Each structure stands twice: as structure tokens, then as C-alpha cells.
Structure 1
């Protein structure tokens, strides 16, 4: 079959180069590496054959070793398996680096939807350019980096990937060879579990090495189109940060770690400023600027390399000195090196003295307990029996008086909550308001969850007129999403909250969680519940005169399974507030989509473009669903929900996941400070299992249940009902529905039920596995019919090829993992062998997760 131009380019720039440079591994001078590299292709081929024949992993591994006399001893076999794992991990890194190095070539065919093309078109249409400029005056994009453990590269490996990517761009074989040697000797995992501060330092690598440069470059690019920052939002792209601030279910995050992270972000930022300033100093050597340069030298150096006691916000002072230098250059020195000064001014405007806003997040149940613990210290008694009151009465009777609650008399968690609230004021003093101005309430279920938190602020030294904080409810479960509009209406009409919003410019941020709603109600219902909630919340906000911004979890509707995030935002429809785009990015999403200058620049540009495009053609609102289309999706969502809940309530559901996935061993992997589940000392329950662990376990099984289960049942229902043609038209006409289906296909493309085919005859789990597989095949067949294609992701051939190659690379890891899990079911294992098999499982998780990224 003839390849398209894009496929041919991917084949030459990525596939062929990977095969070429992969051969360099054979020459690396490491212990027995050559032997490993020689045997791995045979092992991979053996695994492929075994999986194709639906053999049990144990049979595949044992039959492979049966071919080699030197691997009779168990110790030798284990040694080779661990070396295979190490080798494959580095193959994944090489593939990442090659894809990144070819990004500008392989993605160029998508330029038709890029921001530069849009701005170029607008240049010849004054009315269109004015419309875009108006949008950019108000629009903002906020990317929030989280420490959720979905990618396992330490900072040292990320740095190697960056250098390797640059060497590959130049085809510098000597440098590539050296970097591969470095990669071979660099450990891929931590010996100890990281602290929240460790996680922050690791993620700050991206801030310092990628976002600092890309964000300012894009701001400059757009300002140049509209003749300066006065024409557009001077902080078009904002950065948020969760490590050290996100304490939801993570007892390791304390007020001290929050303080440490805040100081680290400041120091890293000032080091970036200081490097730029040294360049400035080498160029601007003229008279008349000595005083300003000396002051900047002092400010940048001191805050970069010394821990400043009681630091304060220096943004205005830095800008004053830079503007003074700029004036001298214009008036006395022919504007020499003015661009260099403007560049630093732009960065200081963008990042201030904080770099990224440190969000605080805590579960509503913890906040309720803290509120309860504090009430006994108030001088004015609280309403009697307050906790048992109905919600409407609670909201009515809540007093809003300032007080000083003594932290040290409270339990540890309540004490830390109040200490963190006090710390937010100090962080604002040190870095400006945006240093820490958002408190996110997880598991938010009622208006009192937010109003009681505001009480805690007033009991922790904040004056009610000076609470420069946005309170962000996070609605997560299907039930909470359905009640979200009523909760917000109660808040918008509450006198105290209404006054607070007026002081905040009548702006409200609402976060909608996808991962927990998926675990709760399945893929389609989670998507649809969020979409409906957005419409209802937008209606309420507009009626109340509130400017609403939605904050989306990256694992959710924007890009489930690695889909195209910008398409989600470009097809929102006029019923949904879309003046601002805010989303979390985590794990392999950061390294794959924002890990290099090229990929970050492209993906951020695409998101800005999506925000602008969605505001154009407001009179031709093709993306708003009609009532009949909504009814159709509602029918499918309910059928999907029924199928998923039936599966989830099966007594074998959690048992299957525990036995055949690494779920129980995830807590031993030193990649996150966060426990695998809430209530870590208790028996495992589905409701306590963290969504990341839930999704990771299914992906290790190569059965991405959270990404597709129930979709086939839903499509079958509407087809039997006679609505199939309407669904086909909906897929073509609705960008949102198309995004749901396309992202579902992305998840399905990473599934392979052949891995567990050996369980089909298992007495206990055979029927359960058949249920999973039947739904997969039903979903696959109906989606192919719906989309008019013959293979999953046929419309995205490059992404499909990328995923297929990654799956091929890691198939031996998946086989080894399931072999070890199978062996762990044996009753006659001694402690030593249990330890080895556990380690095999744990070590394979890293490579499988890391390979799960793609550039879609």
C-alpha cells in the first residue's frame, strides 16, 4: 500500500533513524551489553510469536530460555531479564528523542491550523484582525504542572533526552554515541521515594529549560503581530504548579514543603534572570546606565544564590530599572541592544518573582474537619447543631467574623491547614498576588464547602476585604457534576461570596475532574457529564454576570489517551464559556508535548489558536449541539454508564485488577510522594483507589478499560433503536462528539487482549475476561463502522504508527511483567523468589508507562 507523504516522512525521519541509531547500542562498552543487544531481537520475536499464538507468559519465557543452554540456572535467567528491561528502557528514550528531533518536519503538514497562518490570514482582513486582537486582550492560557505519577524519567535522563534530541537534529554521530553511553550508565529510577520537594525540583527542570524560553518567545511573536503588549494580554500564557501545594490525599505535603517549593521556584527563576542579565551586561557597556545595572546585578545575584529572609516582591523595582536602561539606550545610544532589554522586560512581566502560581489543593472532608476543630475557639458561639443542619440552613447561618484561631492546639492536619492558609499571605508578599492565589477544594459537594473555607481564611489572619484568593471548587464524580450548577447558584446569590467575587473582578474558576468521574461512571458518561455541567454552569454564570473559566484535568475530555487537546477547545460551542483555557499537564504529557522547545512551542501555539478560533464566527455556531443531538448523546451516555457500573460492581472487578496487574505493587515504586490510595492503612476499596493508580493498572494490563468500556454498548443501543444514521451525522458535524470517539480510539490502540488470552479458560476469571474482550471488540467494530474506516486510528496514520512502534518495543516488558505476576501466583515460592518476581514487575512498569506517550 502506498504511504501518504506524511507517513513516508515519518518512516524516513523516525522509523529508519531509530533502526540506525538503535544499532549503536551493540557497540556500547558496558558489561555484557553486546550479548543483551544481540539476544533482544530474538527475545522480541519470540514474545511476538508467543502472544500471537495466545500462549501464557510463563510458557513464552520458559520456551525462550529452553533454546539456550547457558541459561539453565535461574540466576542467569533473572540476570538476562533485568538486562533486557534496562536495554528496552533506553530504547524508549532513543525513540522519544528521535521523534522529538523530527517534530518540526513530521508536524509541518498541520500548519494549516496554526496560529501564524491564522494571523497571516487576518492581516489582509482588518475586521478579522480586530476581532482576534479583542479576543487576545481578554484571553489567557494557563498550563498547570502536576506531580501525578504518569511518567518516570528523572531530571538527569530528561537532560540527556534534550541533548540527544539536539544531537539527532544535526546527525552528530559522535555526540549521539557519547550520549547513549551516558544513558547506559545513568540510573532510571530512585532508590528512595521522592518527597514533594523532590518532585517540585524535578518538574522545575521544565520551567527553567523549556517554559521560560517558549512562553516569552510566543508572547513576543504575538505582540509583534499587534504592535506591542498594550494591544494584547501582557500575560497571555500563565503557568501553574501543584507539587508542594497539592495535599489532597497526600500526607507528605505540609506547609513546610509548600514554603520550600515556593522558595525554590523563586530561586530558579532568578537564576534564569541572572543568566539573561549577564548577556545584557556583556552588551550594554555604555555610560548612563551604571546605577541601574548595578542595582539589577545585586537583585538578581542575591535572589539567585542566597536564601533571602522574608523575601518581597521585586517585580516593579526590576522593571523600573530595566525601563530606565531602555530610556537611556533610546535617547543616548541609538537604541543599541534594545531587543535584549525588551526580552528581559517581557520575561519579568510574565513570571514576576514567582515563576509559576503555586496552587493549594485539599479535600473538602479535611477542610470540614478543620472547620469543626476551630469553632470551639471562637469568641462568638457557632449555631447549635450546625453540622446536622440542612445545607440551605447552614449557608444561611454561617457567620463571617474575623478571629485568630490558635493553630498549635489543633490536631496535626487542622494545624497544617491553617498554617498553609497563613503561608499563602507570605507567598503573596514575596512574589506578588499570583505567587499563590488559588485554593482548590477537591470533592466539593456543596456551597458550604467553599464558604467554610473562607471562614478558615478569616480565622487565620486574613481580612475579609483583603482575601486576594480565588476559591476553586473541583467537581469530580458524576453525581457531583450533576449538582454543580445548583452549588454555584447558591454561591453567586450568597451576599458574602457575591461581595468577594466583586472584589475579584466577578471572575470564577471551576475545575471539573475527569479521572474520578471515569472511575465512577465510565468514559462516555464522564465526558458527557462534564459537557452538560459546563453548559449549566455557563448559563448560571452568565445570568449572574460572572466571567467563568473552566479548569480541565489533562487526563480528561481535552485529551483522553493522548488525543489532540487543541481540537477539544476549538469545538466548544457558544453554550460553554471558553474565554480562557486552563488545564493540568502531567507525567509523560509534559515530556512528550512540552519537553523540548519545538514541541512546547507548537502545542502551546495550537492551544492559543484553538482559543481564538472558538471565538470567531459566533453567528455560525456549528459546534453547539441541538436538543435532538443532546438527547442522542444522553441516551448513549446512560447506556454506557449502565454497562460500566455493571462491570464495576462485579465481585471479580477489583480482584482481577489486583491479581493480574501491578496494582498492589505500585506503592513500592519510588516515583511519587503520593500514596496509591486514600486511607492507606485500610483494606483496598475502589472508592479509595486513586484514579491515577486505577488507570495505570489497566494500562499495564494492556486493557484500557477506563478509555473505552461501555462505548460499544452505547453505540449498539442507538443502532438497534434505529438512530445509527443520526450518530454518523453527529460524528461528522460535532467536533466535541468526534473528539470523544477519536480519543476513545487512541486508548483502544494501546490495548492488546492477546496478552491475557491464556486466561480465557481460567475457571474463575475466564468469563470476566471474555466480558472485557467482547466489549472491546464490539466498540472497535462499531467505531470502525461509524467512522467509515478499516483499522483503528486510520485517520491519524502517523500517530497510529508511532503507537504501534512503541507497543512493539515494550512487548517484551509486558511479557516479562505478566510472567512475573503469573509466577507470583505459585504457592511454593520462597521469600527470595517472591522478592525477585516483585522486582521484575516493578522494573517493567517504568518502561511501559514511559512508552505510553505519543506526540498526538
Structure 2
């Protein structure tokens, strides 16, 4: 019944509005885009009917030209296709804006996973004190990453923001004007944005969405759970930041860029305080207080525009406290709540706004180590073991000058030196983590410790958490041995004691899925967390897991609340930390309503896990064995696919993989390594997952899962799997997230490939596994359709897929032309690259 009500509400506030405003949109006089709105439905119908009839994109698009246009030359046809892409991109923005504007009407303050629902449940079950106790030992951190999947330029982002507001007000005149602006605003950056541009783009959200969102969420927590004797920790919701600090495989991120981004973060939070204080002073216009707040305002102003005139969070709080004292003594505490709110924001955001992390690949660190030893010792690096190198680094008492070195060594050492300056200006919370990608051994962590020592830091001044990132299946397997060795090492034990006996460990879903397949990666990470929890507890260390989860299920994303709420008591739960990137920022945390709702979902998932007992969160021994079996069977199937001689060539020749690097969407290369030969291990997770998504095949989100389920059925054990689905929240979440990936797949689009002499057999392997996975999961869940229990998500996907189908036809048409070597190859390559934008935006993270 509730599902039917939600579907009806969605129809009213999303579908109907889209039809109304889209009809308005169709009649607008866009530059060189006349009549596109009338032609587009014909291309959609030709595509829909064509794929159902088994036609290929080449036939479909050519028949569209013949039946519905009088265009005959290749140049005319290409011009029309580019115009259609531009038109569809704007339709996607319109739908995004309408759906986002409807968010508060489709979600309630009392939904499952909200603060209100958590409070009501706590009262009913007499658990309020336990929730308060857990809040002291818990936090959520959302980390914005530097991954270049944000396709909307800043100008379009601004229109999207205004359009959403106009739709909420049903202001047809303003919507009409904004759609006209949208029609004339370029959707493509002329040049690739620099890491500083990327940082500024995300700082926009920090300043105009999260400053208020997190402040209001904290106020809600205080009102719901605070007492005379208890105030929730203001650090319970935190922001992290990678643009400008993540130099893993990105040569454009330099030590100087990191300093500039830190300065941007500091400057923008001070601007937030300055604006907030301006409003506060309008109310606190009392003698004694006016003077204090005026002085604080001047200090903030000077600190914003003169970076040498630093102001610390402690100084700001001192002024607020002085004002509060006068307010209480002489003015009856009038407007006290406004002053409290301002103080809470300062406690939450400090002078850092978001914690800027450094990240680098362990293999780069190895090059740096070799370079240092070669230059500063008489030792022959070629003859040294890792242990010998580490011993020399830790025992030598020299202090290095970055100027003595070149390229990456110079940059790495300068980055380490800059940590002290960033902490001085932004506070220690401004930068306190160094993350090492592809961590496999103890040396990967200790090299970073040695870099600080070699840059002149005294042991007591190394105020940094060293965070290993285990991402491949092999790395995950080594994780517990590596951490045990570290915990037993006196030098590291002393360091970790200084850091409060907390150890953050990052686990990479994206590369794990790429390496091991969907089911194996998720189970491997789950078990790794359990092992690391146990080892950490043995040594009296609180472990914090930082998940590189991305957006789509193929990158570890999906329904995040359900995922974290499904983790049982065998996994440490001191903090939930996740990365979000690209379209996840706009689609999940893009405005105040969405951001507040989704921050609450994360927060309550972690709090509920410890306080409310639920047997479905804890895996019994027989359930573990079954999950292990399923993971191994699916891993074997996925590994066979990965080792298929056509795997990399298929992606290279039949997908959009090579076109990601040509888009002006981000400063980051699409692969690690500089060689011309494409190697599987060098593929970055985003273009890897994204290319499958552009093909509408979403292989990393399901491949091997259906095969594993079917193997169980063939051996007469399917009832065991059904019992696992009903009894385990973790397994159920995996199934539902995988179904989300499959629901965004559409194999008829590429069915022409089955006749390809080189790749036909490979395409059939993919298609067969998709059909098998769909069949087995429907049988397992008892659903009649994918995402049956998620009506809003399903309807949203359906409309988006309808909008984007003509775009997919155009992309595949261009790829087929390129493969056949027909016509203007350069123009068709541009067509493929251009069509990436709308496809990604419409799919909201692709899979």
C-alpha cells in the first residue's frame, strides 16, 4: 500500500512536472537547435522498436535519418546528432532539478534511518542512555574525492541550483528563463579543469550546502538527545577532502597545489563565519556584546584577505564565550540559542572546513626511497632488500632538503614539510592523514613515517595518521599480517599511542571489485574488517575503517544505510568513513534536503548497529561457509572472464574506455603508468566501471553472482541460499544492490556485437551471465521485477533510461562507424566523447 502511495506521489511531483516543463522546454529557441524537440521522440521510438526487433544502432540511426529527415550528407547528419546530444543533456538537467526539488515531498522526517525515527525508537525501547553513550564514541565522515566524474561545469551547476529552487516554487516564468539560459550555456569545459579548479567546484558545496546542513543536523541532535548534563560531540559529523591532496597517479597535484587548496578551505570557512556573524550581530545589538562581535568580525575579515594574520578556532570561541558571559549577566540570555548555534559551527568546522588528506601510491614511494638512498648514501640500491632500505631510512640522522632532488622525490618531501604549515594555519584537523594506495607490506606504512623523520620532524611532532589502503584481493589478504607486524613494532606502537590508540585503515571497494568481482570483493572486505577488528582489539587499538565506496554498487556504493546497518558486532563501529565523488555529490548530497537526509541515514546506521540487537546482522557459522562458497564460485567465474584473451581488447575496441581521457572533466589521467600498452592492473576503477556502464552492461556489478547461485541450485542447495537471503541483512543488501546494477543494464543495445567475428563469443558470455543472474536473483527474492521493493528508484531509472536511449543509440552508432573505418573518424570520435557526458549525468554514477 505504501509503495503504491509513493508511486502515485512520484507521478504527481516528478513525472507530471517533467512532462509539463519538458513541453515548455521543447518550444524554446535554442541556438541551432530548432525542431530537435519534435525530432527526438522519433529517434526514441526508432530505437525502442529497433532494439526489440533485433536491429543494430547503425540501422536504427540511418533509418531515423531516412524516415524523419531530409538530410543526406554526412556533415549534415553529424551536425544534427551533436544538436540532439546537446538537447538531451539539457533534458537530463531538467529531470535532475525536478527530482531533486521533489525530495522533501517523497521523504519524511520520520522515515526509517532518520534522527527522529532513531529517537522515537530509543524512547520506546528505553535505549536513550545507550545511544548517548555511543555518540561519544562515534562519528561519520564523508570524504569528497578528486575523481573526475562530475560532468557539469560550474555554470551549469549554478543553473541547476536555481532551477531546482524555481521548480519548488512552481515559478513558470523563472523556469522558462532558466531553461533559455540553459540552452545557451556550454555543457563542456574548453579546457581540463586543474586540481585547484576541481577543489573550488566542490568547496562550493561545502560553503552553500554543508555549512548549514551539518549545523542544522547537529542542532537537531542536541534538541533530540541533549540534556542538562549531556551535549552530543560536535565532531560527530565531519567532512574530508581529497582534491588537491590526492596525488595517486595524478601528476597535476603538486605540493604547491595542496597548499593553495588548504588556503581555499580555510578562506571559505572564515567567509561562512563572517556572513553568519553579520546576521548574528543584527540580533545581538546589546552594549558590551556589539564591541566584542565587531572586533571578531574585523579579525575574520583580515584573516580572510591577509593570510599572515591568522585567527584560530580557539580565538573565535574565546570571543563567543566572552559575549555569552555578558549576554547572561546583563541581557537575560536573549537570543542565546543564536550564539550557541554560531559556536557549534566553529566547533564543527574549525578553521579547516574539511580535512585535507594526502594520498600517494606505494610504488611511487618506492621510487622516492631509491632516489634518496642513491643520492645520500654509498649503498647500491639494486643490492638492497626492502628491510635494508627501511633500516637505513629509520636509522640515518640526516635532514633532507627537497631542493636537492628532482621531480617526484622533491614533490613528496615538500608535501611532507608542508603538513606543518597547513596544521599551523588550518589546525591539526586541517590535515592529519597520509593515505598509501596499494599497501601490501609493512614497509609501505613505515616509509611514510621515515619521510617525516627525514624532513626534520621530531618524533613528538609527527601529528599525522598513517593510513594503509588495502585494495586488491591480494592486498586484502595480506592486511591482517601487515597490521599485526605494525602493532608489534615498538616504533610504530609509540606513534599510534601518541595518536590516541586509533588506527585508520582504508579498504578499496572499487579496485577490489575490479580485481575480484562483485561478490568476492564485498565478502573479502567484510572478512578483512572482521580480522582487523579482532587483531586491533588484541592490541588495545580502536580501528576505524575508511571505505573507498564511490557511488554505484559496482564501486561499493548503492544503498549505503542498508550496507552499514547490516554489519554485525564482529566489525568495529567507531566511525563510518566513506568516499563520495562526481555525480554522487550532486545526486545524494547535492542540496540541503538530500544532504541532511543522507547524513542522517549514515549516522543512524552506525548508532543503531551497536545499540539495537538484531540477529540478522550477525552471521552464523553455516551462513559464513555458504557466503565463502558463493564468493569463491563467483570469483572463479569472474577470474575466467578477466583472463579471457578478449577482455581488455573488448574494452579497448568496443567500449568508451579510451575516450574518458579525452573529456575535459578532470585533471586526472584515466590509467596509472605511462606506457602505451593497456594493462588490466593500470586501469583506474572509474573509467573501468564507467565503460561497462556506457555499454549498458554493468559487468562489475553482477558478473559471477548468478553463476554462483545457479551452481547452488544445481547441487540441490538453493534453499540454503534462500534462508541466507532471509536471515542475513548483509547478503540481502548485496543482492539488492546488484539488482540495481542489473536494472540499469540494457543488453539489446549491444546485441549486434554477438555477430562480430572477433568479439561475438565474448559478448555472449556477458549476456548469458546477465540473463542467468537476473533469473536467479528474481527466483531468490521472489520478485517479479528488479528493484521491486524500491518503487521510487525503479521509476526514476525508467524515466532516465527513456531520456538517454537516443543518446546511447548515437554513441553506439558512432562507435560502429569508427570500427568499420567509415566516414569522418575524427568527427565520430568527438561524437563518442561528447555522448559520454549525458549518459553519465542521466545515470547518476552509471551503475
Band the TM-score falls in, shorter-chain normalisation: over 0.9
| Partner SS state of residue 142, structure 1 | strand
Question: What's the counterpart of residue 132 of structure 2?
Answer: 133
Q: Does 1:474 align with 2:469?
A: yes
Mapping of residues 318-357 of structure 1, within 5 Å? 318-357=316-355
Question: What's the counterpart of residue 364 of structure 1?
Answer: 362
Distance 1:249 1:228, change over 3 A: farther
- Structure 1: how far apart are the matches of 2:846 and 2:699? 22
| Partner SS state of residue 564, structure 2 | helix
CA contact (8 A) 1:428 1:434 kept: yes
Q: 502, 507, 510: which is aligned to 1:507?
A: 502
- Structure 2: how far apart are the matches of 1:749 and 1:297? 53
**Deviation digits for residues 385-431 of structure 1 (CA, Å, limit 9, x no counterpart):** 7974376x877786355531121222310110000000111000001
CA contact (8 A) 2:811 2:835 kept: yes
**Deviation digits for residues 32-88 of structure 1 (CA, Å, limit 9, x no counterpart):** 544111111122111111122221111111111102453123222222211111111
Q: Does 1:838 align with 2:829?
A: yes
Question: What's the counterpart of residue 89 of structure 2?
Answer: 89
Q: Does 1:852 align with 2:843?
A: yes
CA contact (8 A) 1:427 1:436 kept: yes
Question: What's the counterpart of residue 653 of structure 2?
Answer: 659
- 1:3 Cα deviation (Å)? 7.2
**Deviation digits for residues 524-563 of structure 1 (CA, Å, limit 9, x no counterpart):** 1111110110111011001110001100012389885752
Distance 1:809 1:740, change over 3 A: same
Mapping of residues 649-728 of structure 1, within 5 Å? 649-728=643-722
Aligned length: 846
Mapping of residues 371-770 of structure 1, within 5 Å? 371-376=369-374, 388-389=384-385, 399-400=394-395, 402-555=397-550, 560=555, 563-618=558-613, 621-770=615-764
Distance 1:25 1:473, change over 3 A: same
Gaps (5+ residues) in structure 1? none
Gaps (5+ residues) in structure 2? none
- Structure 1: how far apart are the matches of 2:583 and 2:551? 15
- 1:106 Cα deviation (Å)? 1.5
Distance 1:316 1:676, change over 3 A: same
The alignment's C-alpha RMSD in Å is 2.2
- 1:798 Cα deviation (Å)? 1.6
Question: What's the counterpart of residue 113 of structure 2?
Answer: 113
Question: What's the counterpart of residue 47 of structure 1?
Answer: 47
Distance 1:449 1:557, change over 3 A: farther
- 1:769 Cα deviation (Å)? 0.7
- 1:723 Cα deviation (Å)? 2.0
| Partner SS state of residue 469, structure 2 | strand
**Deviation digits for residues 743-768 of structure 1 (CA, Å, limit 9, x no counterpart):** 11011111111011112222221111
| Partner SS state of residue 747, structure 2 | coil
- 1:285 Cα deviation (Å)? 2.0
Question: What's the counterpart of residue 164 of structure 1?
Answer: 163
Distance 1:835 1:514, change over 3 A: same
Mapping of residues 220-239 of structure 1, within 5 Å? 220-225=219-224, 226-227=226-227, 231-239=231-239
- Structure 2: how far apart are the matches of 1:711 and 1:855? 19
CA contact (8 A) 1:443 1:475 kept: yes
Mean Cα displacement is larger for which, 361-370 or 46-55?
46-55
- Structure 1: how far apart are the matches of 2:559 and 2:264? 33
| Partner SS state of residue 572, structure 2 | coil
- Structure 2: how far apart are the matches of 1:443 and 1:2? 46
Question: What's the counterpart of residue 207 of structure 1?
Answer: 206
Question: What's the counterpart of residue 80 of structure 1?
Answer: 80
Distance 1:2 1:222, change over 3 A: closer
- Structure 1: how far apart are the matches of 2:233 and 2:554? 26
- Structure 2: how far apart are the matches of 1:622 and 1:37? 51
Mean Cα displacement is larger for which, 78-87 or 440-449?
78-87
| Partner SS state of residue 188, structure 1 | coil
Question: What's the counterpart of residue 16 of structure 2?
Answer: 16
- 1:187 Cα deviation (Å)? 1.5
- 1:283 Cα deviation (Å)? 2.3
TM-score when scaled to structure 2?
Answer: 0.96
Q: 794, 811, 832: which is aligned to 2:805?
A: 811
